[in-house]
A and B are shown apart, each in its own frame.
Chain A
């Protein structure tokens, strides 16, 4: 089995420094019982949160830097939730909401699969399932000069890295890594691309290796490229293997590790 190098999913953080008056609020000790008492919960970390929930009180944290990831926003003195999902905390100070959707919010240093929709003199316009189209500069290739601009047709599938991601501008992509090498980026030829949710993409890229990929790798030889924007590309020597790999991945979204292994075995028996 050969697969693209695993890219860790990266979460974009905006850091904010809060310096408030020195008196902290009293520590909250009781857990909230939804019906009876009205004492607020100590912490909503690892619980499902809904838009509108307040998860942090900044007046209680004096002179600390807190980093906010996806799904959270600052509302004067509090941090409140924008998207529904599970609230996660990475010690010491990174908070984000984990959720899975069909669209993608671009983050810097994410690796995604894009489809070329237009060619301009300076940029390729690439669709990465984000709110706006992304730009891929014509020179953002290893050894790229004005003389050897790659000729991508409309509909070409590319494995690219997000370089700039800002809510108010179109995101910018690159086919090189930080050092300027090609590093597996570029056009993906042959194979089959299918769309999934962002949550499934993160699960496929998690380490240790996702159970479904391991189970498939024991018997089959295939290669896949996973984009954090919810696109997966699979390639193998025979079409039936490609179909089996794609179906196994698409079915594995809501299954636990053991269920994934059982599902893969059942699919393999059908192949024989």
Chain B
């Protein structure tokens, strides 16, 4: 862990996230919708479903999820298809697929602005939209981007300019920290409490293994904060309400 302070262009410290904002129930026709922004990266997710019928290749004994990614400009290409696949696998692991068999839930992700950490922003927005639509979930997914600078120090939530300069970065998605009436049991069993799990990890660039584990630790700690923000934004009852956090 580098003890030196990293100079970031917008004056943030290494562990500081950009301002988060989340508003739900903004689209009139969609069954659930959410708009999540981290600084200038803004993503709008809309959920339709569950609707009857599954696609041809899918298992009819389970619900299926379909993701459509719409970029801000340009045609849909391989990058969008890759994002769709990653998002679909992430959301499949948090949705309870056996509750409504033989149904399809469609999630449409529209990118409004891309200033770094686009996929984590999309994961957060889709998760908020799924909660807004009332799709049964096992837990929430909270995602963050961790970058690794040349000095070996980890910066959180890099902007696009920072992403292009640093040697490697990772998109990480963790389960949210739940409230529980159970006393926290010291983990004597093999699999610890749910906060220690990880749902998705997508890395770009080359990084040593030790630094990757550093990123995981920092990312997990930051996700606890994001999950707290998510919980607060769900506590406001008024539909279409806007909650902000810095």
Contacts and interface: CB of A to CB of B under 8 A. Distances in A.
B138 A51 contact: yes
Interface in B120-140: 131-134, 136-140
Most chain B CB within a 10 A radius of its CB, from A25, A131, A168: A131
A62 to B, nearest CB: 16
A55 B31 CA distance: 27
A74 interface: no
Nearest to B234: A84
Most chain A CB within a 10 A radius of its CB, from B49, B100, B180: B180
A44 B181 CA distance: 7
- Main SS at interface, chain A: loop
6 contacts: A25-B183, A40-B184, A50-B178, A82-B96, A83-B137, A103-B31
Given A40-B183, A49-B179, A82-B96, A133 B52 contact: yes
A223 interface: no
Given A40-B179, A52-B194, A132-B103, 14 more contacts: A40-B182, A48-B235, A51-B94, A51-B137, A51-B139, A52-B176, A52-B178, A53-B180, A80-B178, A83-B137, A101-B31, A101-B132, A103-B49, A167-B100
Interface in A76-99: 78, 80, 82-84, 99
Contacts of A48: 231, 234-235
B184 A50 contact: no
B32 interface: yes
- For the complex of A and B, the 8 pairs showing the least CB-CB separation, nearest first, are A52-B139, A101-B134, A51-B137, A82-B136, A131-B50, A54-B180, A52-B178, A48-B235
Contacts of B180: 40, 53-54
Interface residues on B, range: 35 or more
B133 A101 contact: yes
A83 B228 CA distance: 17
A145 interface: no
B142 to A, nearest CB: 11
Contacts of A105: 134
A260 to B, nearest CB: 15
Interface residues of A, number: 41
Contacts of B235: 48
B178 A83 contact: no
Nearest to A41: B181
Contacts of A132: 52, 100, 102-103
A3 to B, nearest CB: 26
B179 A101 contact: no
Contacts of A99: 134
Contact of A103 (B134, B176, B182, B230): B134
B175 interface: yes
Nearest to A86: B237
Interface in B80-123: 94, 96, 99-103
A259 interface: no
Contacts, number: 110
A50 B179 contact: yes
A253 interface: yes
B163 to A, nearest CB: 30
Given A40-B180, A131-B49, A132-B102, A50 B234 contact: yes
B72 interface: no
B31 A56 contact: no
Interface string B137-148: 111100000000
B101 A51 contact: no
Contact of A40 (B131, B140, B181): B181
A78 B179 CA distance: 13
Contacts of B194: 52
A100 B57 CA distance: 33
A71 B49 CA distance: 17
Interface string B28-72: 000110000000000000000111100000000000000000000
A73 B96 contact: yes
B133 A102 contact: yes
A39 B184 CA distance: 8
